[in-house]
Amino acid sequence: MTDMINATINGVPVEVAPGTTILDAARKAHVKIPTLCKHPDLEATGACGICIVKVNNTGKMLRSCCTPIDDGMDILTETPEIVEVRRGVLELTLSRHPNECLTCLRNQNCELQALAADFGMTGSELPSVVPDLPLDTSTRSIVLDPRKCVLCGRCITVCQQHQNVWALSFLNRGFKTRIAAAGDIPLADSPCVRCGQCSAHCPTGAIVEYDETVDVWNRLQDPDAYCVVQIAPAVRVAVGEAFGFPMGANLTGKIYASLRRMGFKAVFDTNFGADLTIIEEAAEFKSRLLEGTGALPLITSCCPGWVDFMEKFHGDMIDHFSSCKSPHEMVGVLSKTYYAEKMGIDPARIFVVSVMPCTAKKSEIIRSKEMSSSGYQDVDVSLTTREFARMIKQSGIDFVGIPEEQPDHMLGAYTGAGTIFGATGGVMEAALRTAHYYVTGEDAPRVDFEMTRGLKGVKEGKLTVAGKEIRVAVAHGLANVEQVLEKVRTAREAGEELPYHFIEVMACAGGCVGGGGQPYGATNELRTKRAAGLYQEDQAGLWRCSHHNPYIKELYADFLGDIGSHKAHDLLHTGYQVLPEYKR
């Protein structure tokens, strides 16, 4: 066993494992050291210098986030000298940050603002030297405002290392350093897949979602518009964070009620679309598995960041992709066909809003002509959870107290299989439940497939269905996809047996619960708790398999016909194409 490190922090003795940073050791001693560039998800880079501490034995000032604590160290964190240095760093940082807090999307939710408040920063002697850099709204999903950037490098680490997209980088050096899309072009022309992890990790308003709340409010006021809405699985367990609810609290009923009060004429649930995706996708899997109608392994396609990534970087995998549209697109197209028909509403009047944990959904809704298969754009606006939380705050709704309501069941009733779509592995688990039924004609004796759950980057597992071994893989965080696809390629080239039959990929770590449009501050603890909120609902639900959803049965009986029918194909399926990494 390795010897433990013994040191003191502000006189408090601590014992930690070797390699522990001073910052982490301080937490153990209940000492808070301020940080700015450090994020729990990411390796420390020591970029900002706010977390500086003094090693009393040597008199040296060190950055606590990236310095391992040593035996016998006597660390001081709060002497006037240290505070003065930190204030100096902060003053310099603020001198090149625009004073636009009141009109910034991060107002009251900004790490730099919080730090300035904690330090009691008032005026400054330093001249303001805010760089004159243009806004990049080219993706219409993510907005880059390099003037507000504090050069912490989080977005770059997450884009390059965690997502393997390499759309963002620093350019230039020293005072002229700035964040930019790779090769200094508009972000929309870069390899960016719009996952929004950059925005979710940004400490300030330098990278935010493309805000469309005003457009939605305008439509809600428009007497000619018939506004309907749907919420994604992961939204229900995250939006509460903006209102002081505990991590992972499932607030589905309050969300429905709030949406009705905002003026939406019908409140649907993307979980219904998730059930429908499973009905079509499990059928697709069964026919590829048993009848050889398409390439195996089948790869899930409900994550638009992943779809974009595949089209740009792994075009050789197109044949493996499920042709099923993502759940919110299915609810969108059915709102303007099935629902319109049943309710006798002109689909031209229907305005579909989807509330998603995701920035990439904003691009998905216009990604191809199949996203308008109702004859209109199937989803008109896709909002992130963060935008939705702001709308609740703007609407005067007492979100904490509002009584729970039910969705409009026609496109809103769902099973637990739909709910767990929001967590990594959930789509696979939901698909296996229904695929088992399709292959054997009966439900699996136990519908919990734990091998798909949890935050391990790549999860593998196998099960036997009707005497046939089915091997599956689940990857989340785009950098984890490579090894899974490489195994498939290697086996394919060598003519060996396939390593997997079915692969699920989600672009964001943790799946949609950790999505780029979710409330800030996601850590693995928070991702786990949000996912737990979904699995609890699944456990407690009446129906846990998508094929048990009576409203789905009604949809096929009344409108779509058979599973995989022409109509189902026209409305619920899509295609893919190889895209260049760079548009220029």
Instruction: Rounding to the nearest 10 degrees, give the CA dihedral for residues 436, 437, 440, 443.
Output: 90
Give the Cα separation of 299 and 311 in Å (integer). 13
In the region spanning residues 220 to 279, those forming contacts with another protein, defined by CB under 8 A, are none
Question: Could you count the other beta carbons within 10 Å of the beta carbon of residue 468?
Answer: 12
In sequence order, what DSSP letters do the residues of 392-413 get, joined into one string? HHHTT--TTTPPP----GGGT-
Least distance CB 171 / another protein (angstroms): 4
284 is catalytic: yes
Identify residue 430 by its one-letter amino acid code. Answer: A
442 is catalytic: no
Give the Cα separation of 513 and 140 in Å (integer). 22
> Token pair for residue 454?
């949890």
x/- mask, another protein, residues 154-193, rule CB under 8 A, reads ------x-----xxxxxxxx--------xxx---------
Element (H, E) at 81: helix 80-95
In the region spanning residues 104 to 163, those forming contacts with another protein, defined by CB under 8 A, are 160
Least distance CB 580 / another protein (angstroms): 10
What is residue 7's three-state secondary structure? strand
209 is catalytic: no
Specify the residue, 194 or 288, whose C-beta has the smaller distance to another protein: 194
364 is catalytic: yes
In the region spanning residues 356 to 375, those forming contacts with another protein, defined by CB under 8 A, are none
Half-sphere exposure of 117 (CA within 13 A, CB side): 9
Least distance CB 161 / another protein (angstroms): 11
Size of the site for another protein (CB under 8 A): 13
302 is catalytic: yes
- Choice among 209, 241, 311, 364 that is catalytic: 364
Specify the residue, 168 or 485, whose C-beta has the smaller distance to another protein: 168
Measured N-to-C along each axis, helices 111-118 and 80-95 cross at an angle, to the nearest 10 degrees, of 140
Report whether the peptide linkage leading into residue 80 is cis, meaning its omega lies within 30 degrees of zero.
Answer: no
Specify the residue, 201 or 433, whose C-beta has the smaller distance to another protein: 201
Least distance CB 177 / another protein (angstroms): 9
What is residue 468's three-state secondary structure? strand
Least distance CB 535 / another protein (angstroms): 37
Q: Whats the size of the chain, residue-wise?
A: 584
Least distance CB 167 / another protein (angstroms): 7
Specify the residue, 47 or 220, whose C-beta has the smaller distance to another protein: 47
> Token pair for residue 433?
């439940």
15 is catalytic: no
- Choice among 65, 149, 202, 302 that is catalytic: 302
- Choice among 78, 100, 370, 482 that is catalytic: 370
Specify the residue, 315 or 561, whose C-beta has the smaller distance to another protein: 315
Residues 6+ apart with CB under 8 A from 565: none
Can you name the residues that pair with 74 across neighbouring β-strands? 8
Least distance CB 106 / another protein (angstroms): 25
81 is catalytic: no
CB distance 146 to 178 below 8 Å:
yes
Specify the residue, 167 or 237, whose C-beta has the smaller distance to another protein: 167
∠ CA 455-459-465, nearest 5°, is 130
- Choice among 111, 284, 329, 387 that is catalytic: 284
Least distance CB 101 / another protein (angstroms): 30
Specify the residue, 105 or 185, whose C-beta has the smaller distance to another protein: 185
- E strand intervals along 215-303: 226-231, 266-269, 298-299
Specify the residue, 50 or 187, whose C-beta has the smaller distance to another protein: 187
322 is catalytic: yes
What is residue 138's three-state secondary structure? coil
- Choice among 110, 159, 195, 512 that is catalytic: 512
- Choice among 64, 169, 301, 322 that is catalytic: 322
Identify residue 236 by its one-letter amino acid code. Answer: R
- Choice among 54, 254, 361, 529 that is catalytic: 361
List active site positions: 281, 284, 302, 322, 361, 364, 370, 512
The binding site for another protein (CB under 8 A) comprises: 160, 166-173, 182-184, 582
